[in-house]
Chains A and B, each alone.
Chain A
Amino acid sequence: MAKAATAQPQSMARGVAAGVLRATSARTVTTYSAQSQRTARAVMAHTSTSRHTPRTLQWLSQSWSRRLYSTQYQQPQFSRGDNKATAIYATAWIIMILGFSYAAVPLYRAFCQAWRATGYGGTVNKHDNDKKKVEDMVPVEDRQITVRFNADTSATMPWSFKPQQKAVTVVPGETALAFFTASNPTDEAITGISTYNVVPFEAGQYFNKIQCFCFEEQRLNPNEEVDMPVFFYIDPEFAEDPNLMRINDITLSYTFFKSTSTVSPIVPPEQRQLQQEQASTA
């Protein structure tokens, strides 16, 4: 490829450089690396004006030839076979991803069943282990907590709703009982439903009610007064929460609303059984 016309190093290097550039421009199978191409262009530029001494030219040509012949590589050829393979891979990948997104729903459900059954994570459903927890929990004796009670009614609710005790001192890990009283001063039966709130917010997650009167419709006959107990406990982990280190006062606040909906809330299985028993014996 290189035309070595004379023995002069200058023209030999020039000839090789010309060959490199010709091969690159023709886009033949054999091309030269970028470094080779750069060096070839530099050689062409330098040797056009002979301002170097023969000694310098000799040294220059040696370094040029090293660089000119460096990293000769095969240019990759894109054949039709490669394109087909890529298309197949891409399609397979898309189908796999779509399949995973559809399969995710039953997989997630199955995984969560195992999660709950083997008791792996705690946050999926806290209340599964509660029965066991009440049995096993140990009262934290050195942490006395005052639970204050607050009772409210909504503006449209004519009931008189009050707590029977202002506060109760409990310790985490021990069950406690408290009473509220509701009276219906009107001459018609009124159904109410209540909800509750625990302040401070961080303590709310440790406040567990075993049984109370909230979330279910409670019907009071005209001029009737009824006692409503709340059976609760504070989780022993309350004592280990750093956010609650200085908190020894919790307020439990109930609010009664007039019930207007006819849809009854979800009833836990034990309660449903009891209601069925009562209905059958009544």
Chain B
Amino acid sequence: MGMPNAGSKTFQATPPDKGSFPLDHDGECKQSMKVFLECLRKNNNNGRKCRVESKAYLQCRMEKQLMAKEDWAKLGYAQTPDTAPTAASAPQQQQQPSRTASSQ
């Protein structure tokens, strides 16, 4: 009746949509994670600039059976390319080796 916070809304933790990530005990995708974290550090923790790297990490997880395979559209990566745009730099610069080769 006069209890403080009686009936006040409390935070309801909801389970994730696709459940829990299986633990990466063997560190199979650690390299992808390091690439992603490095990208975040470089871009001042701007997650929007590192979508390619995060997509690569999830790709690694799917390949190593650490995540259920899913369409990229269903994960919100429909617009994200598989590799970082290499033509952004000036045409005279040498072509960077594509990232797909390194992540496979």
Residue in B closest to A197 when the chains form the complex, CB atoms: B11
Q: Are A127's CB and B74's CB within 8 A? A: no
* A201 in contact (CB, < 8 A): yes
- Range, interface on chain A: 35 or more
- Among candidates A171, A216, A221, residue contacting B19 with C-beta atoms closer than 8 Å: A216
Which residues of chain B have C-beta atoms less than 8 A from A195's C-beta?
Answer: 13
Inter-chain CA distance A170–B45, complex, in Å, is: 9
Q: Are B33's CB and A212's CB within 8 A? A: no
**Whole-angstrom distance between the Cβ of A180 and the nearest chain B Cβ:** 11
Inter-chain CA distance A229–B67, complex, in Å, is: 11
Q: Are B16's CB and A170's CB within 8 A? A: no
Which residues of chain A have C-beta atoms less than 8 A from B73's C-beta?
Answer: 135
**Stretch with Cβ within 8 A of B (4 or more), from A56-64, A81-89, A203-211:** A203-211
- Among candidates A178, A210, A278, residue contacting B16 with C-beta atoms closer than 8 Å: A210
Which A residues are closer than 8 A to B by beta carbons? 127, 130-131, 134-135, 137, 164-171, 174-179, 195-198, 201, 204, 208-216, 218-221, 224, 226-229, 231, 233, 265-268, 270-275, 277-278, 281
Other A-B contacts than A165-B37, A165-B45, A169-B45, 7 sampled, CB-CB below 8 A, are A135-B74, A165-B40, A177-B36, A196-B13, A215-B20, A226-B24, A228-B21
Which B residues are closer than 8 A to A by beta carbons? 9, 11-25, 27, 29-30, 33, 36-37, 40, 44-48, 51, 54, 57-58, 61, 65, 67-68, 73-78
